[in-house]
Each structure stands twice: as structure tokens, then as C-alpha cells.
Amino acid sequence: MSKKKNISYLFSLALLLLAGCDADTATVPLPGEERAVEVRLKASVCTVEATVSRNVIEGTALNTGDKIGMFLMRDSNFSTPYLQNLPYLYAEDGQLNLQPEGTKVYYPARKDTLYLYGMDESFDRIDTIFANGDKFSYTTSIDTITSAYLLIDNQIEYPIFLDKGNQIKIKGNIDHLEFLDINGNKYNEEFTAFQKELGSLNNPSEKDLEQKAEEFITAHHSSFVSLYLLDKYFVQKDSPDFNKIKKLIEVMTGILQDKLYIEQLNEAISLSEKTEIGKYAPFFSLPNIKGEKITRSSEDLKKKNLLINFWASWTDSISNHQSNSELKELYQKYKKNKHIAMLGVSFDMDKKEWQDAIKRDTLNWEQVCDFGGLNSEVAKQYAIKEVPSNILLSADGTILAKNLKGEQLKKKIEEVVTAAEEKEKQDNKKKK
């Protein structure tokens, strides 16, 4: 585990600080303040990180005796220091102890901040709502039924359904924000009832939740709640089941079929179907590190089975490391084999960061990138939703497998190469 001292982080009054795997706070009195928070941090062996406006700043795993300089800022622009470079010392028990020992620091209490933003392009702006005491109110102009999210304390995201002339009432407990009682129209009432039903389940599994969501969608063909549940329980998954999603879309009627979200989802399903196993892989032409255009029919790749790895330097370092380790092992084993080749397709947007990552991680097989990120045409062609991922093509461009890892990937590559070598032997016998 590497050691790195004097790491400094920023966090805002309105944002969440994550210290290692745990962040611990306690409410204590402070002269001149009705409520204040004692800044107490706890870390484990995992990486210390701070989340600032969704941009994660990673440090390093901590060793006993490592020091952290913490900056507390009074506003979200990080322009007004409240306290500067507080010296914390990492101890064996995982505590981050403020130095000298026994010192305490308090951060002024803040008012709760909530955000309202739309689920789709019809109402996509973010409005800020400030809570006074234990209540908040908000008024907006709505022309037609609109789905929105209520973001509470930058942590809890809750669907709200708005329609012209509605008076929406929200009741809840600050300690159980995942279960709010919302009324004012039938959609909010339907969702409230659905959440209560989930709350009555005893430790439901992911499969149980999906089943309940499917039952609701099937019984509520034209409810906006069905769109939300479709997205939450079926679309927002590492490996969405597009066949299931397609069937659920087909039962939806009325105004739901006209929503932009459904149009976009149908397009994604169409692209996914084009890259199913057994289908012919889409053609692409991308520049390598020398600026040369590379295709599946390029000299070093043609007439070979091809393992394409989709990646980016900005992805999770652990996932990249694991994927790269597997790929480097395969490359060393098969780099002189005439039946298999490898190609890295990056979704980086910065050329230098891409080049540095290739050099740093010793990715010695052919690498290409058009610096379009996940909006790159090849990402759309191959329906890439996350990286790293991979796809295995036959010599004629047919898709043989997708997103294999570990032993499964090794076994499949060996199987494909063995079959190609056996075919070559048989063809040579026929020639004789």
C-alpha cells in the first residue's frame, strides 16, 4: 500500500465529504450558533476521497502516521476559507485525529438545500429550494404533466410528478428520506403506494424489486410512474436486459409512447440488437497513436479473430487495472499468433492523457481514439454504456462474445484460436 503524506482536499458547506469508507459527524453547541457540527473523520484502508460537484479527487490508501491537511470552505465556490490546513493524523484504529490531540473544530450549521430538476428535456433546468426550519415551499408554472426529480441534500433523489393546477404536498422524516408521502395527483399517490409496498417487504432482493416494478408497469400502462420504474429497475443496470425492457415498453400506451425518453430508449435497443452475438460487427475507422487510420481490415488485423477492448484513462482505476492485467497476459501469450489480434479503442477526450495512459500501463497492442468520449460514433455503433468492456469478433467480423472477464475470457480466446488452428490444418491437408 503506497504512502502519501500531506494530502489536501476541499469540500463545500453544501456538499458531502467522504473520508475513506466512512464519514462521522456529531451535532454540538457553538457560541453564536444555534446548531453546529463537530468535524470528525474516520477512514479505513480504502482510498480517501472527496466529492466536489460530482468530480472525484482521489488520494491514496493511508498508513498509520500519515498526515492530511483539510481545508473547510464556507461557500460552494471555494473562495472563502473557514479553516485552513487542519492537521489530521491517521491512527491504527482508522481514526483521523486532529492535532494536537484533544483539539476539536466546529463547522457552522447549514440550512438544507434541495434541487428540483426534470427527468427529460421538457423540464431540464435545476431550481434551488431553501428549507426554513422543517418546511419548504416552491411554486412553478407547468403547462402539461411533467416528471421531475427532487434532490435532497445532494444525496436523496426522489421522483415528483407535476401537472397544471396541482398543489403537491410532501411529508417525510429527515431520517427516512427514501420514503416520502407525496400527493396532489394520481401519479404521486401511485408512487407513494408503491414505495410503501416495497417498505413492507422483508429484505427484498434485487429480483424481488424488479418483479414488483414489472407488476406495477404491467398494471399501469399509461402511468408516468411506470417510466420512472422502468428506468430505475431495468435501464440503469450494468448490463440491461433489452429484451425485457422492450417487452415492458410494448405494454405502455397513451402519452408515454410519445415521450422523448421512450424514443431514445428504443434507439438504444435498436443499436444493442445490432451488436448481439451472431450479428456482423459495425465498420469503423479510427486513428492510432501515429495518426494512421485503423480498421478491422488493416494489415495486422485482417483475417484474424479480433478482441476489441473499449476503455478510457478516466475510468475507475481498479477496473482499469484488472482489465489491463488480463489483457496484457493475453497479449504476451498470443502476440505472435496469426489467428488472434487485439485492439484498444479509447474514449478519452484528451490526447496527452490517452498517450500517457498507454505508456504508463504498457498497453503495447494497437490503440485507437478519436477523442469523442462516449459520444464517439463507435461508442454508439457498439452500444457501449460503460468502460472497460470488450467484444470478440471472428475473422469475418461476426460477433462471437461480449464483455467476458477472467477465466471466461481466457477460455473463449483459447477455444477460438484452437478452432482456427485446427481449421488451418484441415485446409492444408486438403491442398495436399
pLDDT in the model for residue 210: 95
pLDDT in the model for residue 370: 94
Cell of 400: 462471437
Q: Answer whether 4's CB lies under 8 Å from 60's CB.
A: yes
pLDDT grade, residue 23 (50/70/90)?
very low
pLDDT in the model for residue 229: 95
For residues 69 and 85, give the distance between their C-alpha atoms in angstroms, rounded to a whole number: 5
pLDDT at 367 over 90: yes
pLDDT grade, residue 9 (50/70/90)?
very low
For residues 67 and 90, give the distance between their C-alpha atoms in angstroms, rounded to a whole number: 6
Name which of 111, 95, 121 is nearest 152 in CA terms: 111
pLDDT at 153 over 80: no
pLDDT at 56 over 90: no
pLDDT at 395 over 60: yes
Locate the domains of the chain by residue range.
Answer: 7-108, 111-175, 201-274, 286-427
Pick from 138-147, 221-230, 396-405: least confident: 138-147
pLDDT at 178 over 60: yes
401 CA to centre of own chain: 23
pLDDT in the model for residue 39: 53
pLDDT grade, residue 59 (50/70/90)?
very low
- Rounded to the nearest integer, the mean pLDDT of the chain is 76
Q: Answer whether 304's CB lies under 8 Å from 393's CB.
A: no
pLDDT at 52 over 60: no
For residues 199 and 178, give the distance between their C-alpha atoms in angstroms, rounded to a whole number: 10
For residues 374 and 378, give the distance between their C-alpha atoms in angstroms, rounded to a whole number: 9
% of the chain surpassing 90 pLDDT? 38
Q: What is the pLDDT of residues 80-108, one digit of tens each?
A: 444 444 555 555 555 556 566 666 655 55
Pick from 88-97, 271-280, 322-331: least confident: 88-97
Select, from the ranges 79-88, 142-151, 317-326, 384-393, the one with the highest average predicted confidence (pLDDT). 384-393
Q: Which fold has domain 286-427?
A: Glutaredoxin (3.40.30)
Q: Answer whether 111's CB lies under 8 Å from 48's CB.
A: no
- Give the list of residues 6+ apart from residue 139 with CB closer than 8 angstroms, or none: none
pLDDT in the model for residue 14: 22
Residue 146: other Cβ atoms inside 10 A:
19
pLDDT grade, residue 68 (50/70/90)?
low
Name which of 141, 152, 148 is nearest 123 in CA terms: 148
